[in-house]
Amino acid sequence: MVRFLLSGDAPRSRILAVLLALVLVGLAFAPFIFPGVRALHTAATICIFILLVASYDLLLGYTGIVSFAHTMFFGLGAYGVALASVHMGRGWDALAVGTLAGALAATVLAWLIGLFSLRVRAIFFAMITLAVASAVAVLVSQLYQLTGGEDGLTYQIPRELTPAFRFGELFGVRLNGRLLNYYLVFFTCLALFLLLLRIVNSPFGRVLQAIRENDFRAEAIGYRVVVYRTAATCMSAAIAALAGSLYAIWLRYVGPDTTLSFEIMIDVLLMVVIGGMGTMYGAVIGATIFVLAQNYLQNLMGLAAEATAGLPLIPDLVDPNRWLMWLGVLFVLSVYFFPTGIVGRLRAGR
């Protein structure tokens, strides 16, 4: 059963298996293990970024395609839900329409980008995605009436998904719509992650890896490389859009800085590299560590600064305001010491 769900792709490292199990259990029972609004928000963000990073890994790690448009697809899904909810009014139908429209728009756009640039050299594709993503970001901030510009959009989602909807208590935790919303995010992300894991272990996924290794030879043994690359781009875009829709449902807000921004694109790149490219599980580890660091490094440093208050220099170094610097240091170190990512490192050594 587990083997079937994981598509035969075992973690192949005991430590990795334990880490993955910890993340899974932690996220599955997050509302009960880590009570509190902030903790639940962090857990939902981790789920969504695991999915987003995994869909990027399909492209970068498995197919060897560099794209800078991934957060654009993420944004398309998010804005789909937001626009539908704004215009159709609060409701499940708005969520469904917005999600589908976002995924469809992402797929079509990915297909168009692929059509024009995947036949040419890989660097050209990267440049086109950069150009299109920038254009879309500018468009979103310019079309103020439609998109809310830099302020973004807030909207209502079905009552059943909001804290106002209460239906009892379990283990001292209040059962409300926020909890339902979390489990919507969690189970959708889990299912789509397992789908991605299946895709990369399918005959199709194997061809993607062959293309990554040697596209010239893949073509020579009969695979239509352009078709496979385009299909991978479209799938990756569609799943990124679905992740975006979930994020929009979770946040009840979209704005350029939560979905479209180039900073998120860099974050996604870092997560995939830190976790380990071309492994899928790297997305789980990378996204979890990254989001936790983003959310809690400052607190941790605050504690460290207090604890070392009497000593010279150290409190100054671990001052919470320097958290971004330390995050950077962590990344540089991890990329330096684990060039194949954490998963690659765990699988190689024992």
Partner 1 sequence: MTQTLLETTDLTVRFGGHVAVDRVTCSFRAGELTAIVGPNGAGKTTYFNLISGQIGATAGRVTLKGQDITRLSVSRRCRLGLGRAFQLTNLFPELSVFENVRLVMQTRMGRGLNLLSTAESHADVSHAALAVLERVRLDRLRDQKVSELSHGNQRKLEVAMLIALEPDVYMFDEPTAGMSVDEAPVVLDLITELKQDRSRTILLVEHKMDVIRTLADRIIVLHNGALVADGPPAEVMASDVVQEAYMGKEIEDV
Q: Report the interface residues with partner 1, using CB under 8 A.
A: 7-8, 198-199, 201-207, 209-210, 213-214, 216-225, 228
CB 75 within 8 A of CB 249: no
> Is the Cβ of residue 34 or residue 223 nearer to partner 1 in the bound state?
223
> Is the Cβ of residue 80 or residue 278 nearer to partner 1 in the bound state?
278
The structure tokens listed for 275 are 């976790």
Closest CA to 264 of 300, 235, 240: 240
> Is the Cβ of residue 7 or residue 129 nearer to partner 1 in the bound state?
7
- Beta carbon of residue 281, minimum distance to partner 1 (angstroms, whole number): 16
Q: What is the DSSP string of 308-336?
A: TTTSSSHHHHT-GGGHHHHHHHHHHHHHH
Q: How many CA atoms, within 13 angstroms, populate the side-chain half-sphere of residue 242? A: 26
> Is the Cβ of residue 207 or residue 265 nearer to partner 1 in the bound state?
207
Give the start-end residues of each E strand in 26-165.
Answer: 153-154
CA angle 267, 272, 276 (to 5 degrees): 150
> Is the Cβ of residue 218 or residue 271 nearer to partner 1 in the bound state?
218
- Beta carbon of residue 188, minimum distance to partner 1 (angstroms, whole number): 18
> Is the Cβ of residue 310 or residue 350 nearer to partner 1 in the bound state?
350
* 49 burial via Cβ count (<10 Å: 0-12, 13-18, 19+): buried
> Is the Cβ of residue 281 or residue 323 nearer to partner 1 in the bound state?
281
Q: What is the dihedral of CA 264, 254, 45, 29, to 10 degrees?
A: -170
> Is the Cβ of residue 6 or residue 112 nearer to partner 1 in the bound state?
6
Q: Is 110 helix (H, G, I), strand (E, B) or coil?
A: helix
Describe the crossing of helices 92-117 and 122-142 by its angle, rounded to 10 degrees: 140
- Distance from the Cα of residue 316 to its chain's centroid: 34
First to last CA, the chain: 27
**Residue 286: CB partners within 8 Å, gap ≥ 6?**
53, 270, 271, 272, 273, 274, 275, 276, 341, 342
